[in-house]
């Protein structure tokens, strides 16, 4: 990766793209530090951190702590991501949008992008109003009246629209895929704080400020830090391996004579990625599994021990068995759902038949379609289990450490999800740079 960036830096055009991307990310991080007026950000941050099982915690991680600080970019790129997913699903359900996507060409693509932008503003408005309602419910607004409400909601919506525009600029003038890069930057921005926490904890252990008898196992214990580092590196290597893993189905094209020339007779393959759906199943599953905790934030009786809501929330505690099982099953469900949308075996089989291609050992048409469906089903199951294990890894480690007497295990974040996003975006960016280098015939740089 580092070598690819060095090689890209030697090309003036790619150097300009890299500098533009860095400058855009600096603007993004600057906006993530400017707080919206009329909000008690200190109390809000404590409230968000206390509700680690709610949807707000997920939004905070994706925004790089901007959500908990109520900054201008608090909503980050989430409204645009939600809008893109909704429009993608609607293209399957609404024939007019499906024709616009398949037959509209460049003009149809522009219309869909415009619809996505308008939907983003609408979703941002809904999320901003919900965010304002939560802040008001907890009494964290420092001024009363309609004007503070208008200012707060307008600032959040404007910030989300600007982040969407910034991502599009990175896609057009930067190194590409600006939305993913902004999401990457938001998650990476939490890294220095995590490193600082570990360093501070190790210093406290070394100075004897924390008793070993009270806390025998901890990620902050000096002897435990190398184990954590090795474990994280192994996890990253495993995620990279699965991200690049794919099943290649051989395809043979029959020979055909057109005029005096013979075409076909070539061998190819259909690449099917093991983790075709990326991190989306985890995000969807966590958003749904976090609904009880999110509702509990607005119900006063949820804080009363022995009440119905309090008992219900304890059952769905993020460290509990019920939550983990529901979370895992939702990840598997959404993995199958999203892969069904992305890969249509019937359409692939028909395209192969039209182009004179076939999979060795299977007749064109329905037999080929059935074979592809069977392969997709098996690969999806493996990919879904992989996502489930990665997503539940912090919970499993936290419970193990808590059982051994460590209190820091309770505060492990959703590291697996973040690492999948960071690694995926990094690999995608490197591949984009390598492709642009190849286009410019700088083959020596990649050797």
Closest CA to 331 of 282, 296, 370, 275: 282
Q: Are 324 and 395 in contact (CB under 8 A)?
A: yes
| Predicted pLDDT at 323 | 83
| Predicted pLDDT at 402 | 64
Contacting residues for 445 by C-beta, under 8 A, at least 6 apart: 7, 10, 437
CA distances, 312 to each of 50, 56, 99, 373 (Å):
17, 19, 46, 39
| Predicted pLDDT at 414 | 47
Burial tier of 26 (Cβ tally within 10 Å: 0-12, 13-18, 19+): exposed
Report d(CA 93, CA 263) in Å as an integer: 38
| Predicted pLDDT at 437 | 80
SS3 per residue for 419-441: HHHHHHHHHHHHHHHHHHHHHCC
| Predicted pLDDT at 442 | 46
| Predicted pLDDT at 373 | 92
Q: What is the DSSP string of 181-215?
A: HHHHHHHHTTHHHHHHHHHHHHHHHHTT-S-TTT-
Name all domains of the chain by residue range, CATH numbers in brackets. 1-189 (1.10.3370.10), 224-413 (1.10.3370.10)
Task: Please identify every stretch of the chain with a pLDDT value under 70, giving residue numbers as ranges.
Answer: 1, 51-54, 193-225, 256-265, 297, 301-303, 401-416, 440-447
| Predicted pLDDT at 384 | 92
| Predicted pLDDT at 154 | 95
pTM for the model: 0.79
For 251, the 3-state DSSP assignment is strand
The pair of three-digit structure tokens given for residue 163, joined into one six-digit string? 């982040």
CA distances, 324 to each of 79, 291, 335, 405 (Å):
27, 14, 17, 21
Q: End-to-end CA distance of the chain, in Å? A: 13
DSSP type of residue 39: B
Sign of CA dihedral 61, 396, 384, 237: positive
Span 259-303, pLDDT tens digits? 666 665 678 888 888 888 888 788 788 778 877 777 776 777 666
| Predicted pLDDT at 121 | 94
Q: Are 359 and 371 in contact (CB under 8 A)?
A: yes
| Predicted pLDDT at 311 | 79
């Amino acid at each position: 990766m580092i070598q690819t960036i060095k090689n890209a830096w030697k090309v003036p055009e790619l150097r300009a793209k890299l500098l533009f991307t860095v400058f855009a990310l600096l603007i993004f991080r600057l906006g993530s530090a400017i707080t919206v007026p009329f909000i008690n950000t200190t109390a809000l941050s404590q409230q968000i951190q206390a509700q680690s099982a709610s949807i707000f915690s997920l939004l905070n991680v994706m925004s790089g702590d901007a959500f908990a600080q109520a900054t201008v970019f608090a909503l980050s790129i989430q409204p645009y991501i939600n809008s893109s997913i909704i429009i993608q699903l609607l293209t399957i359900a609404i024939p007019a949008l499906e024709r616009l996507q398949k037959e509209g060409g460049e003009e149809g693509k522009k219309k869909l992008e415009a619809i996505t932008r308008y939907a983003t503003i609408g979703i941002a408005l809904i999320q901003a109003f919900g965010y304002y309602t939560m802040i008001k419910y907890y009494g964290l607004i420092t001024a009363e009246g309609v004007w503070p409400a208008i200012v707060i909601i307008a600032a959040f919506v404007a910030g989300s629209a600007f982040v969407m525009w910034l991502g599009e600029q990175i896609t057009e003038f930067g190194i590409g895929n600006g939305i993913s890069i902004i999401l990457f930057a938001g998650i990476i921005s939490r890294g220095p704080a995590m490193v600082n926490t570990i360093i501070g904890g190790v210093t406290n252990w070394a100075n004897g400020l924390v008793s070993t008898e009270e806390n025998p196992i901890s990620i902050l214990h000096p002897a435990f830090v190398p184990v954590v580092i090795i474990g994280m590196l192994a996890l990253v290597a495993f995620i990279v391996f699965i991200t690049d893993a794919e099943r290649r189905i051989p395809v043979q094209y029959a020979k055909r004579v057109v005029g005096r020339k013979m075409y076909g007779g070539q061998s190819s393959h259909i690449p099917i990625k093991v983790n075709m759906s990326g991190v989306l199943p985890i995000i969807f599953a966590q958003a749904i599994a976090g609904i009880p905790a999110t509702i509990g934030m607005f119900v006063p009786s949820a804080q009363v021990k022995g009440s119905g809501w309090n008992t219900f929330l304890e059952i769905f505690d993020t460290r509990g068995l019920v939550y983990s099982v529901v979370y895992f099953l939702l990840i598997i469900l959404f993995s199958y759902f999203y892969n069904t949308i992305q890969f249509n075996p019937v359409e692939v089989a028909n395209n192969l038949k039209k182009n004179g291609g076939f999979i060795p050992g299977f007749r064109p048409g329905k037999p080929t379609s059935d074979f592809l469906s069977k392969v997709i089903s098996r690969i999806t199951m493996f990919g879904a289990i992989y996502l489930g294990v990665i997503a539940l890894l912090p919970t499993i480690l936290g419970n193990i450490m808590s059982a051994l007497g460590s209190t820091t295990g309770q505060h492990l974040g959703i590291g697996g999800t973040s690492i999948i996003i960071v690694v995926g975006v990094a690999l995608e960016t490197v591949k984009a740079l390598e492709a642009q280098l190849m286009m410019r015939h700088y083959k020596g740089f990649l050797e």
